[in-house]
Amino acid sequence: MTKLSVNINKVATLRNARGGNNPNVVEVALDCERFGAQGITVHPRPDERHIRYQDVYDLKSVLQTEFNIEGNPVGKFNELVLEVRPTQVTLVPDAPGQITSNAGWDTKKNFSFLREIIGEFKEKGIRTSVFVGTEPEMVEYAAKAGADRVELYTEPYASAYALGREEAVKPFVEAAQVAHSLGMGLNAGHDLSLENLRFIHEQIEWLDEVSIGHALICDALYLGLEDTICRYLDCLK
């Protein structure tokens, strides 16, 4: 079964809006696990506008499921990952002030850089995933750089879903097949929702993990967190 990793960045955004510790990020993460999520994802950014570096340490000490840390592998982020040693690190080419991730790596252009940092993380036993688009060459160079997995950036699929889901999913199936042929694991994330998740999973049944935050937390405002997680898990059966 494809694992559901809940990205809790939006929970931290709500907390930070008023200061204090309400909602409690750690308690929400533990609730997600209790309600059936098989992983927790965080994406700390340099300005700590949502997840703080201290959150990462606090979560590491209590989580029972897979812990996935996303981010641009430079400076303090690398130090954090190497110290915390999560189950997985997902390398995302974010600029410091970027609102959200909006592109995958050019793994060919950044091959030497990625190979070096992937080697450092894997030496510490951290599974390493690289955030990529659907170009087969980008998947191939991620494999050459030593990545264990790729995470397909699925915003283009979500945006085109209503216009024709078969066409929208086609390049993702092709990229997934390339990853599978290279012996890589496969993740997906960004703008996946209750509307579009089931279909992409039906087309790519060998997905290892989906990482979902914004849509899931929005749904939880109406449905409640437990019901929401159950509905997302049902899409992955």
Q: Distance between CA 3 and CA 71 in Å, rounded?
A: 20
Judge whether 206 and 177 are in contact, CB under 8 Å: no
Residue 14 to residue 72: CA distance in whole angstroms: 23
Pick the catalytic residue from 140, 190, 201, 209: 190
For the chain, first and last CA: distance in Å? 6
Active-site residue 226, yes or no? no
190 part of the active site: yes
Q: Is 50 a catalytic residue?
A: no
Single out the catalytic residue among 33, 50, 66, 70. Answer: 70
Annotated catalytic residue within 43, 50, 140, 151? 43
Q: Which residues are identified as catalytic?
A: 43, 70, 190
